[in-house]
Structure 1
Amino acid sequence: MDDTDARHRRPAGSPAAAVVHRLHDRGETLATVESLTGGLLAAAIVEIAGVSAIYRGGLVVYATELKATLAGVPEDLLAARGPVDPDVAVALAEGGRQRCGAVWGLATTGVAGPEPQNGKPVGLVYVAVAGPDGTQVRRLDLDGGRDRIRSAAVIEALRLLAEQVRVVREGEAVDPAGAGRR
């Protein structure tokens, strides 16, 4: 598809549009791994026309054991800290990046409610991005009900990705398998 066609067909109001456009222009790919957002992040990304050029796919690993078996989070980390943890978020992002063969991996984990989980409060969310220059994680303390927390987690995950994509110098070639720069 022609770049001009893809730009014109992307919804202007989508929080994912700018970062998808930038990844498309750079020829870089993205994968997602979601827990509390349960597919909302992937849905926000795939609503952008032309995204098939950059979106490799994603995993929804709602059950804790699937975080290990599908996304590659170390079982000992999950046993020691539980699924709502910054290092788990990092492992999810790295696992998605590696398992989907993407330049960027984006992950969400947290407590959407209505009740606390394993001593973690409702609204505690971690979003993480893994990319060619390493991994970043951000803690979020979100207010509101379940739907609001999940929606805000999607927006914040996309914001973190956009920030990290800007950090990698423009014009630099990146290995699509995630091994770093070429």
Structure 2
Amino acid sequence: MLGHIRTAADTVLEEIKSVISVLRDPEEARSTEPAPGVERLQELLAGLRAMGFAVRHRQRGEPRPLPAVVNLAAYRIVQEALTNSHRYGDGDATLDLEYTIDTVSIEVTNRMAVSGGRRPGSGFGFGLLGMQERAAAAHGSIVAGPVDGGLFCVRAELPTDERAVNRLNRHAPQLPVHPPVALRDM
């Protein structure tokens, strides 16, 4: 009996997560293409460069396949951090991607624009919150904020061990009352 209740509850949670993902990003939910991941970062960078946004990309460590949730989270965090750099920064950014034994680390840094950097019509979105949610979904951590030298920095660290991510997904609450990571001034 208890097993049936647990299975039903798990099914309902999966359905709720699916509905929330459609509400948060309807284009992504409708897409029939595979979800983007770090293997598509060069396409993202090329698109930004074509718009005149200078992005320096440095990579350390040996790239390897990532768990799906981590791969998507990494791509979306980079995408949002670079979008914010373009909107609010002074015209260029640096992306550092580092693979270690059990993590992939992301750091996006840009010089903050003196005028505040907001481009007309760019709106007030949920970019920082979205990055926080992506990192939490992958059981990672993220911090974002101004750093010395007039820079703004986003740093994320995501686990890369498939077994650990799956184990955490099975035992962690899916909709935490208080997210386990926080965006804060660095």
Identify whether the pair has TM-score above 0.5, normalized to the shorter chain: no
Q: Which has the higher contact order (CA 8 A, sep 6+)?
A: 1
Choose 1 or 2 for highest CA Rg.
Answer: 2
